[in-house]
Amino acid sequence: MEFILLLAISIIPFIIAISILFFSKTPLSKALSLFLLMLSFWQIDIAILYADELLSLATIDFLFRLFRMGPIFIMPLMYFFPYHLIRENPQIKGFKLFFNRIGLFILVIYSLTVYLINFTKLGVMSFTMVLETPLSPSHWLPVYGVLNSTFIVSVLFVFINTFLLLAVTLKLQAHYYKSFYCKLVGAAVLIFTNGVLSGFVFIPLYLSSFNSILVAVILFLGFFQMQSNKINRINRQLTRQSELLEAIMNINPNYLLVKNSLNHIVKVNDSFCDLLSANREELLGQEFTELLSQTQMIESDYEGIQKFIDSKGEVHFVQWGYKELPEYPGEAYTLFFGLDVTEQKQNEQLLLSSEKLKVIGEMAASVAHEIRNPLTTIRGFIQLLKERSSQSEFENLVLEEIDRINQVLKELLILAKPEAKEHKAQLHTRVNLAEEMKNINLLFEAMAMEQNKEIVLVNRLKTSTHVLMEKAHLKQVIINVIKNSLEAIPKEGKVKIILDHYHEENIRIRVIDNGEGISKKRLSRIGEPFYTSKEKGTGIGLTICFKLISDNNGEMKIKSKEKWGTVLTIILKEAS
């Protein structure tokens, strides 16, 4: 009966050893499992001595010698723990001389030698029966041979290794490691001391078996507490790393998006949300294919630049790309990244426009000079004819028309190279804006009425308000703008012109129509040389207007919405 009870108790460390090995395969967990396994064999060895009623002495002799590997091989295991600690923690100094691979190998060979001696008469000679007492049932007790001293030395090494493990443990920085190894040292001291007292002093052998249960439970709980603390620490580190990566991702000016193998969006950064004017919650979990049509991202090897117009009407040029991220078990992710090259694209457009203006200017200058030369000659001859003829009214009319053509040719020179600006001295003259706008309005009123359209002038300026700009240039810009607005509105449409002050020293002219409006695509190219939507347009009119306003330190901008109309705003410096 005692044998069955002690055998059942000895199985408990064995079950715990298998449990630890099942959940963890680290070197420490393997060593701890071996330690508990040797502890289990040690207790089985003790239980066999109480099997006198069930087993023959020969069987008891064989099994005792076989399972004696428990108390023998537990010694090199106690050496392995500090050896493993020092190898995993290089910052621990002063123990590498004692704990190394060679020392571990020597102790394993020594334990193997002691175990082999155990199978001879030099290790265990025979067994003697210990009669039943009030404290202990009858059981066999081994009679040791002359070389059993090797086993005693092994036991001495167990205690030395245990106390050295305690010295190494106290140098650990990680609290959860230190706590576990202190439990291991305490459990080892308890079981080894109990084993020595029960083996070499006349106290009941079975007491060490009951202590083994306590030791196994302490080590089991200590190990999983250590693992739990370690996992919590790793989780905290991962959380901090995740937050850091999230912050880095969000401050990245590029557009970043991650989708999983199910084609769902799992991560976007702030730049991407700003591009779409959407909340992160709206995008996360959304089907990636639903987003492709909005952003024109290309899921292929094509590496072109896509044009994207956001909800505010601002144009973005984005270079999209993607990269497959390393696969995780059962999961794969794809990172899409967009580089905003809007500024680069705008610079390219400015350079292109500059080149076009240069070509137009050279052509305009060449044409103007070629026409003005013969006009000068014609004017000279008509002047002579006027002096000789008594009917000078026709000659005067011809001269006026020639002067008018000459003035138009001067306007063409505005687009010429900088050195061709003949009218530079006439710039920045004072013009009475209210009076000039009233005259221009009178010019277009009849045309508007004929087309069943309306022009309304709202003047919020004083009659003495002047702007710094040449009169002919101002007139040319306003006429061009009003003409475009009248062409844009349908019958019974309306063009409203508002004059008012803007900030402190500026005058604002707004020309508002309720026409069809301009699409975002066309609006982004307004003012570009040779770009026009008119069938017979040249694409130069608004280019000249933009240049005239810019040359007079003014600003001209256009806002439009399809089906709603267009607002053109001109801001000029008020003359003091």
Tokens found for residue 500: 């008012």
Range of the domain at 510: 430-573
**Calculated CA dihedral for residues 13, 206, 72, 191, nearest 10 degrees:** 70
pTM (whole model) above 0.75: no
The pLDDT tens digits of the residues spanning 49-90 come to 888 888 899 999 999 999 999 989 999 999 999 998 888 888
245 part of a folded domain: no
Residue 467 per-residue DSSP state: E
449 part of a folded domain: yes
Question: Which residue among 390, 422, 454 closes a domain?
Answer: 422
Q: How far apart are the first and last CA of the chain?
A: 119
**Whether residue 210 sits in one domain with residue 139:** yes
**Whether residue 207 sits in one domain with residue 62:** yes
Nearest to 44 by CA among 90, 5, 98, 102: 5
**502 and 492 in contact (C-beta within 8 Å)?**
no
Nearest to 191 by CA among 167, 222, 155: 155
**Whether residue 473 sits in one domain with residue 505:** yes
How many CB atoms neighbour CB 404 within 10 A?
10
361 part of a folded domain: yes
Over the chain (576 residues), what is each successive 10-residue block's mean pLDDT?
82 88 85 90 88 89 92 91 87 82 93 94 90 79 90 91 89 82 85 71 66 81 81 85 83 85 85 83 81 59 66 78 73 82 74 67 64 68 67 62 65 52 53 85 81 88 82 84 86 88 87 85 70 55 80 87 88 84
pLDDT recorded at residue 113: 95
Q: Is 173 helix (H, G, I), strand (E, B) or coil?
A: coil
240 part of a folded domain: no
Nearest to 26 by CA among 87, 70, 74: 87
**Whether residue 59 sits in one domain with residue 189:** yes
**Whether residue 189 sits in one domain with residue 48:** yes
**Whether residue 183 sits in one domain with residue 83:** yes
Cα→Cα distances 181→31, 97, 184, 527, Å = 13, 21, 5, 79
Question: Which residue among 340, 366, 381 closes a domain?
Answer: 340
Q: Which long-range contacts (CB under 8 A, 24 or more apart) does 93-101 make?
A: 95/164, 95/167, 95/168, 98/164, 99/164, 99/168
239 part of a folded domain: no
Alpha-helical segments (H) within 389-413: 393-412
364 part of a folded domain: yes
**Whether residue 291 sits in one domain with residue 193:** no
Domain count along the chain: 4
The pLDDT tens digits of the residues spanning 267-304 come to 888 888 888 888 888 888 888 877 776 655 554 444 56
Residue entry with tokens 């090797």? 150
**Whether residue 488 sits in one domain with residue 549:** yes
Cα→Cα distances 558→247, 437, 460, 569, Å = 38, 20, 21, 6
51 part of a folded domain: yes
378 burial (CB, 10 Å; 0-12 / 13-18 / 19+) is: middle
**Whether residue 487 sits in one domain with residue 461:** yes
**Whether residue 417 sits in one domain with residue 463:** no
The C-alpha atoms of residue 54 and residue 50 are separated, in whole angstroms, by: 9
139 part of a folded domain: yes
Which CATH number fits the domain that encloses residue 55? 1.20.1070.10
**Whether residue 455 sits in one domain with residue 391:** no
Which CATH number fits the domain that encloses residue 275? 3.30.450.20
**Whether residue 201 sits in one domain with residue 305:** no
